Amino acid sequence: MIMCDVNDDYVDKMVLRWDDPHMARKVSRRDDEASQSDAAVDGWLSAQTSPNTQAAYRCDLEAFGSWCAREGAIALTADTATLVAFQAAREATGDSDSTIRRRWSALSSFFDYAVQHDLRASNPATGVNRPKVVPGDPSPTERLSADAVASYRAAAAALDPRLDALVALLVTDGLKVGEALALDIEHVTGRPPAATITVRRRGQPKRIVLDRDSAHALRRCIGKRRSGPVFVSERSAKSDVPHRLTRFGADHLIRQLRTSHATATVTANALRRFHINTAQADGTALDDLREGAGLAAMRSLRRYTDNTPDAPAIDDDADESQRRPPIRQEQTR
């Protein structure tokens, strides 16, 4: 047995502290509040009909919950001052205005749910100043050059087959990160170079024909596995049960991309924006581009397709023969 030299007075104080009925009740009440908060988050998320919205909102609430835990707060009982402090912390880490606006939307929706189910009296997000939408709402996401993207893809292929496949799906097929991470092996059909995947968009299954490079990268990522998530976490190697890669894990992978072309930390949004801008420059009609990128509104697409020299405007009346063929997608039957 290993004996530790511990001051008796310290031990006495600790015993007294934890034998204190008031302290015990305080700890018990806090545990109950934390459990109630977790249950409220699960209930609110289950009410979201879109899997992509559910995944994005889960990520937002996990970020808020983790921050609250570090600050000694609880998500469900957070007040307005706590929300404002959280926003300041996220701004300090470099979150964009659009990300902060989306997170405020998620938090406000969660607190509305809590009020409706008598879990709290009011919504602390009401009336809080949020980042304003700039006229035209241009995206602050960095524009990547073709050389930079080529370097990123080469680096990804050398670093990790998961990163290689993820970058390929964002850059060449325009998938959202949430769509890529939600893929199961059963959603992948065919063999390279003629492979397809099935994702859910606006509640409906959508079959997407993959670029040949993406098809090869995805097959390398899957390897010999026959079921389970396409993208798995590192801890899956130590377990018989595969664990799906989280958004946090995906962002960690993408942050490993470092090349001589990098002017800032590359993001998933920047990689996806490259797909959108490249397709636009090649002549893809805006409506086909919107559909291919899985965006519900043209306004969302136009944030990435302003009329700068490196992203020429598309003439919707141009001759069809001058346009790139639409991104290949089929509605699943």
- pLDDT, tens digit only, all 333 positions of the chain: 334 444 444 444 444 454 555 554 544 555 667 778 888 888 998 888 777 778 888 888 899 999 999 999 999 999 999 999 999 998 887 777 778 888 888 999 999 999 999 999 999 998 787 776 555 455 566 778 888 899 999 999 999 999 999 999 999 998 988 899 999 999 999 988 889 999 988 778 899 999 999 999 999 999 999 999 999 998 766 677 888 998 888 988 998 887 555 555 788 888 988 888 888 888 888 888 888 888 877 777 777 775 443 333 333 223 333 333 344 444 444
Residue length of the chain: 333
Write the CATH number for 270.
1.10.443.10
Residue 151 and residue 200 share a domain: yes
Helix or strand or coil: residue 171? helix
Show the domain range for 233.
146-331
In terms of domains, do 265 and 176 share one?
A: yes
Taking Cα atoms as reference points, which of 276, 287, 296 lies closest to residue 326?
287
* b/e sequence 4-35, b meaning 16+ C-beta within 10 Å: eeeeeeeeeeeeeeeeeeeeeeeeeeeeeebe
Tell me how far CA of residue 236 lies from CA of 105, 109, 146, 181, 251, in angstroms.
33, 33, 34, 15, 18
38 and 112 co-located in one domain: yes
Instruction: Check whether residue 239 and residue 291 sit in a common domain.
Output: yes
Tokens of 45: 């998320």
pTM of the model: 0.56
Provide the domain count of the chain: 2
Q: Is 232 helix (H, G, I), strand (E, B) or coil?
A: strand
* CATH label of the domain that carries residue 52: 1.10.150
Cα–Cα separations (whole angstroms), residue 194 to 86, 164, 284: 46, 18, 22
Q: Is residue 137 part of a domain?
A: no
State the burial class of residue 102 (Cβ atoms within 10 Å of its Cβ: 0-12, 13-18, 19+). Answer: middle
Within a domain: 122: no
**Alpha-carbon 48 to chain mean position:** 16
What are the helix (H) ranges across the chain? 8-19, 21-46, 51-71, 80-92, 97-116, 146-159, 161-172, 177-181, 212-222, 247-254, 268-281, 286-292, 298-302
Map tokens 């050059």 to a residue: 145
Distances (CA, A) of 152 to 46, 131, 232, 261: 36, 31, 21, 9
Tell me, yes or no, whether 162 and 230 share the same domain.
Answer: yes
Helix axis angle for 161-172 and 146-159, nearest 10°, is 150
